[in-house]
């Protein structure tokens, strides 16, 4: 393992993050360091000197590791919260203001079972996406997809029973849409959180 890889491993190796995020950060840091190294070599430094100087310019590995650990710890931060609010507004506008092409009333759906199922699932899916997004922000223990799925399953079941009574079909579609929306919202939160970490780490590097 060369010196740059050893340096990068010392930064991200012990972070409490999933393997994909660590690999992504390693790749970005490696590209950034190699660009610095190449620039220094063009200025006349030897490969060994350029490597050492690139690492020095990048920063102390322990300080960078502590900053990254602080950045990726949990989902509760202003960036994620604002992104969640924007998502909720977009979902509200998309769900209530944008007309569905060729569908002006329930009468036009007719007896199409497929379209009825789509509408019955789409409603709770859009409704529970913000729930899946905000649950890990509000509750630290809800930081896993299984926890979010279980929570939205219960909420979807409760919603289905309140809106559909004893109609099993409505309850099932409410649960399916609720769980799917919750998981999708959680995945969006993870994507937003990873984007925030990458942007912040690059800005501080």
pLDDT in 10s for each residue of the chain, 205 residues: 588 989 988 888 877 666 777 788 888 888 989 999 999 999 888 999 999 998 998 888 888 888 777 666 667 678 888 888 988 888 877 766 555 444 444 455 555 566 667 777 787 888 889 988 888 888 877 678 888 888 888 888 887 777 756 567 777 877 888 899 999 999 998 888 878 777 766 665 5
**86 and 186 fall within a common domain:** yes
> Who contacts 45 (Cβ-Cβ below 8 Å, separation ≥6)?
53
**In this structure, are 85 and 57 located in the same domain?**
no
**Are residues 13 and 91 part of one domain?**
no
Residues 51 and 85 in one domain: no
**116 in a domain, yes or no?**
yes
Q: Determine the structural domain holding residue 26 and report its residue range.
A: 3-73
pTM of the model: 0.56
The whole-angstrom separation of Cα 140 and Cα 188 is 17
Q: How would you class 45 by CB atoms within 10 Å of its CB: exposed for 0-12, middle for 13-18, buried for 19 or more?
A: middle
Instruction: Among 73, 101, 128, identify where a domain stops.
Output: 73
Closest to 18 (Cα-Cα) out of 175, 160, 144, 173: 144
Number of domains in the chain: 2
Please tell me the distance from the alpha carbon of residue 183 to that of residue 151, in angstroms, as a whole number.
Answer: 10
Residue 199, domain member (yes or no): no
| Same domain as 125, residue 25 | no
Domain-ending residue, one of 73, 96, 113: 73
Same domain for 89 and 175, yes or no, is yes
Task: Look at residue 202 and tell me if it is in a domain.
Answer: no
């Amino acid at each position: 393992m060369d010196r740059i890889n050893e340096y990068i491993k010392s930064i991200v190796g012990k972070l409490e993050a999933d393997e994909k995020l660590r690999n992504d950060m390693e790749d970005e840091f490696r590209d950034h360091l190699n660009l610095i190294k190449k620039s220094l070599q063009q200025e006349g430094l030897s490969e060994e000197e350029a490597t050492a100087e690139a690492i020095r310019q990048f920063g102390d590995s322990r300080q960078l590791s502590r900053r990254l650990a602080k950045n990726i710890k949990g989902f509760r931060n202003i960036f994620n919260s604002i992104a969640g609010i924007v998502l909720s507004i977009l979902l509200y506008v998309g769900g209530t203001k944008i007309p569905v092409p060729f569908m002006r009333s329930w009468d036009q759906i007719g007896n199409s079972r497929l379209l009825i199922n789509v509408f019955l699932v789409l409603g709770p899916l859009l409704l529970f996406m913000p729930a899946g997004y905000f649950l890990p922000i509000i509750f630290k223990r809800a930081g896993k997809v299984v926890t979010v799925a279980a929570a939205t399953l219960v909420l979807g079941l409760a919603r289905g029973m309140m809106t559909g009574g004893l109609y099993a079909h409505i309850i099932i579609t409410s649960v399916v849409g609720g769980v799917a929306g919750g998981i999708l919202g959680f995945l969006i939160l993870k994507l937003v959180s990873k984007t925030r970490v990458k942007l912040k780490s690059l800005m501080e590097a």
